[in-house]
Amino acid sequence: MSALEIILGVLLIAASLATIVIVLMQKSREGGLSGAIVGGSDTFFGKNKSRTKEAILARVTRYIAIVFFVLCLATTLLLLFLK
């Protein structure tokens, strides 16, 4: 095993664990039928939705998933071309 394989493996494990932790920190989005009928409200909380804890966690989840995907592609391509 080369040093590059070890570094990429550690980064992949760290990204996957970070994804798991961030997803588990989020609340479930079960609104039921009433949530589907009422929909989004135009209240103070509806307008400032991007500043809530849930919105921040969703944004961080998106970025970590992108990092994980790029790491997977980079690992596959590098190991494919190096061997």
pLDDT digits (tens, 9 = 90+) for 35-56: 556 555 555 555 566 678 888 9
| Alpha-carbon gap, residue 10 to 4, rounded angstroms | 10
Per-residue confidence (pLDDT) for residue 35, from 0 to 100:
54
Alpha-carbon distance of 46 to 63, in angstroms, equals 23
What is this structure's pTM? 0.70
**Among the listed ranges 5-19, 24-38, 45-59, 68-82, which one has the minimum average pLDDT value?**
24-38
Percent of the chain surpassing pLDDT 90 = 45
pLDDT of 16 reads 95
